[in-house]
Amino acid sequence: MAASTSACFRPPPLSASAKLRPAELSSSSAISFPFNLSADVRGLGLRLTSSPLSSPLKVVCMRGSKGGKKEKTAKPDPVYRNRLVSMFVNRVLKNGKKSLAYFIMYRALRRVQEKTGQNPLAVLRDAVQGVTPDVAVKSRRVGGATQQVPVEVDTTQGKALAIRWLLVAARKRQGRDMVFKLSNELIDAAKGSGDAIRKREETHRMAEANRAFAHYPAAVVTKDSWEKSILKSDTPVLVEFHASWCGPCKMVHRVIDELAGEYQGRIQCFVLNADNDSEIAEDYDIKAVPVVLLFKNGEKQETVVGTMPKEFYAAAIERVLKP
């Protein structure tokens, strides 16, 4: 009995076709990473090599990440074969009862068909499109106070907001059960009425009222415009050196965008890609990214290396703005 149990956990032997043969290898007998260093490879006496880094710059204050970020997409539901229905089911779901979520969604769509005499998927699509916002508001610190700053939303984010608002409005309606309330809310949203539509209009009004607090993104500067924009500028200038592959640069870039809005008219903010304009990076001894330089009258005044809190950059700007 013990022998049979141990045999169940013994890994299968490597097939002959899967083993490496010296004749199939290149003449240099070199293998580049990544490679699974098994016992068969070690026995061949191969020389393992790794390729050098493609960029001379290094990243300051960045943790390693395991693989790239994969975008998740909803699978079609088993009845209508529609991804939008699956997105609703996943958000109706509570306490892991997915069968109940499917029951609620399918009964609601059936009631929509009985009440309107139309294709329930068309009504569902019209409801989501009618509720999907063009802009959203996000809380940000502007000038020492918290403001609802308008931000643009892409198609995926807008659809997620529309589904959330539809379900929230359906749960607040008066009715005997969720099937009744959800079906009525979908019908009203498809006709351009209901609490979800009012939520969208309220968001747009709030975004329009706070349009003045929208963030002003930093402008892009290159080698051709460096002298005119930086060295010959009458106002102090902030330049962020970044790279497209740098993760911390994206965090610093958001901070610089906020500072560009707060110090609008007092300082000009620019971003420069250190990979594309390496000559300027070499002139100012930029060996790591992100790096922020502050100029006044064409001369470098302050240097901030790495990812720092927003207050750190604001303090450097205030020192440069002093007469």
In this prediction the pTM is: 0.51
Confidence of residue 135 (pLDDT cuts 50, 70, 90): confident
Confidence of residue 42 (pLDDT cuts 50, 70, 90): very low
Burial class of residue 105 (count of CB atoms within 10 Å of its CB; 0-12, 13-18, 19+): buried
pLDDT in tens, 306-321: 899 999 999 999 999 9
For position 33, what pLDDT does the model report? 37
Q: Which of 2-16, 230-244, 259-273 has the lowest mean pLDDT?
A: 2-16
For position 81, what pLDDT does the model report? 93
> Which residue intervals of 137-234 are DSSP H helices?
155-172, 178-190, 195-209, 226
Compute how many other C-beta atoms are within 10 angstroms of the C-beta atom of residue 210: 16
Name the token pair of 67.
């693989």
pLDDT in tens, 176-197: 899 999 999 999 999 999 999 9
DSSP 48: E
pLDDT in tens, 268-309: 888 898 888 888 989 998 988 999 999 998 899 999 998 999
Residue 154 has pLDDT above 70, yes or no: yes
In terms of pLDDT, which residue wins out, 319 or 44? 319
DSSP 46: P
pLDDT in tens, 236-248: 999 999 888 888 8
Confidence of residue 25 (pLDDT cuts 50, 70, 90): very low
pLDDT in tens, 62-81: 444 444 455 667 789 999 99
- Determine the Cα angle at 266 with ends 263 and 269, to 5°: 65
Q: Alpha-carbon distance 214 to 293, whole Å?
A: 24
Q: Is 146 helix (H, G, I), strand (E, B) or coil?
A: strand
Separation in Å, CA 148 to CA 157, 182, 278:
18, 30, 38
Separation in Å, CA 83 to CA 112, 165, 176, 198:
18, 18, 28, 26
pLDDT in tens, 207-224: 877 765 555 567 788 888
For position 150, what pLDDT does the model report? 77
Q: Alpha-carbon distance 31 to 210, whole Å?
A: 58
Section 41-67 average pLDDT: 47
Q: Minimal CA–CA distance to 321: which of 261, 254, 268, 256?
A: 268
For position 318, what pLDDT does the model report? 93
Task: Identify the residue whose tokens are 């609620």.
Answer: 104
For position 210, what pLDDT does the model report? 72
Name the token pair of 261.
């809005």
3-state helix, strand, coil in the chain (%, to 5): 45, 15, 40
- Determine the Cα angle at 255 with ends 240 and 233, to 5°: 45
Q: Alpha-carbon distance 193 to 202, whole Å?
A: 13
Q: Minimal CA–CA distance to 269: which of 308, 300, 240?
A: 240
Q: Alpha-carbon distance 198 to 288, whole Å?
A: 49
Q: Alpha-carbon distance 286 to 275, whole Å?
A: 11
For position 145, what pLDDT does the model report? 66
For position 59, what pLDDT does the model report? 57
Sheet hosting strand 299-305, strand order edge to edge: 219-220, 268-273, 237-242, 291-296, 299-305
Compute how many other C-beta atoms are within 10 angstroms of the C-beta atom of residue 311: 9
Confidence of residue 57 (pLDDT cuts 50, 70, 90): low
Positions marked active-site? 246, 249
Q: Alpha-carbon distance 281 to 272, whole Å?
A: 9
For position 23, what pLDDT does the model report? 43
Separation in Å, CA 288 to CA 140, 230, 275, 281, 305:
29, 21, 11, 10, 8
Residues 6+ apart with CB under 8 A from 50: 32, 33
For position 138, what pLDDT does the model report? 79
Q: Which of 97-106, 125-134, 274-283 has the lowest mean pLDDT?
A: 274-283
Q: Specify the amino acid at residue 154.
A: D
Task: Report the chain's mean pLDDT, rounded to a whole number.
Answer: 78
